[in-house]
Amino acid sequence: MTLAIFDLDNTLLGGDSDHLWGRFLVEQGIVDGEFYEHENNRFYEEYKAGTLDIRAYQRFALAPLVGQEPETLAAWHRRYMDEKIGAILLPASRTLLDWHRAQGHVPLIITATNRFITEPIVASLGVEHFLATEPEVVHGRYTGDITGIPTFQHGKVERLAQWLNETGHNLAGAWFYSDSHNDLPLLEQVENPVAVDPDDTLRSHAEARGWDIITLRRGERPMPLARDEENGE
């Protein structure tokens, strides 16, 4: 069956769930506000520049989870979904997912953001299959580290290859939707790469290669994104 693969942040979502989680922690007084917001913004700029050290970032992002009771973390995440994620769920993303399902395609979300943050978001989109950066859990508690290959840049290609081997799926006719030049390694692997509200680097690459360029940020349906339109945040 044909795979329809999607990035999550700034692709299916109209914002970045990882960055918003950091903002949520600051607003809730869970972390030191000034320091954490500064570091959260610094890492986000490095991500956009393509220079992010994903393991260093994940140690930073996972640190507030260490030592917390599972019930506490679940309560935090419910508030986060209500206060931050509801506003960036895009109707056109659901339309696009439904279109692929109607074609008999298998949706798969693959995101560099860690599983703790993304699993409830992916569930809310009704997507069964997804790959994320995996936090390490020992005796039911987060250690602050990650396990396996982080799903970032070429790591997405490696983790996807593992998943394909485990599940028997393949990339014949596959689609991949992303907003970020960080996903160029995987975009180059599929027959149907699509740039979604892309950053400038990805837009230039997509234009040069003749890839489709769309927006999911206007209305109920995906729409072509004109050359002179700015990428929304």
pTM of the model: 0.94
* Mean pLDDT, range 190-212, rounded to an integer: 97
Tens of pLDDT along 17-76? 999 999 999 999 999 888 998 998 999 899 889 999 999 999 999 999 999 999 999 999
Q: Which of 9, 18, 197, 199 is catalytic?
A: 9
Residue 227 pLDDT class (50, 70, 90 cuts): low
Tell me the CATH number for domain 3-224: 3.40.50.1000
Residue boundaries of the structural domains of the chain: 3-224
Count CB atoms within 10 A of the CB of residue 173. 13
Active site residue 183: no
Instruction: Please choose, from the candidates 104, 154, 113, the residue with its C-alpha nearest in 3D space to the C-alpha of residue 131.
Output: 113
8 Å CB contact between 177 and 11: yes
Per-residue tokens: 190: 């599929």
**Residue 160: predicted pLDDT:** 98
Residue 226 pLDDT class (50, 70, 90 cuts): confident
Asked if pLDDT for residue 229 goes beyond 90, the answer is no
Q: Which of 7, 18, 179, 183 is catalytic?
A: 7
**Residue 9: predicted pLDDT:** 97
pLDDT, the chain, mean: 95
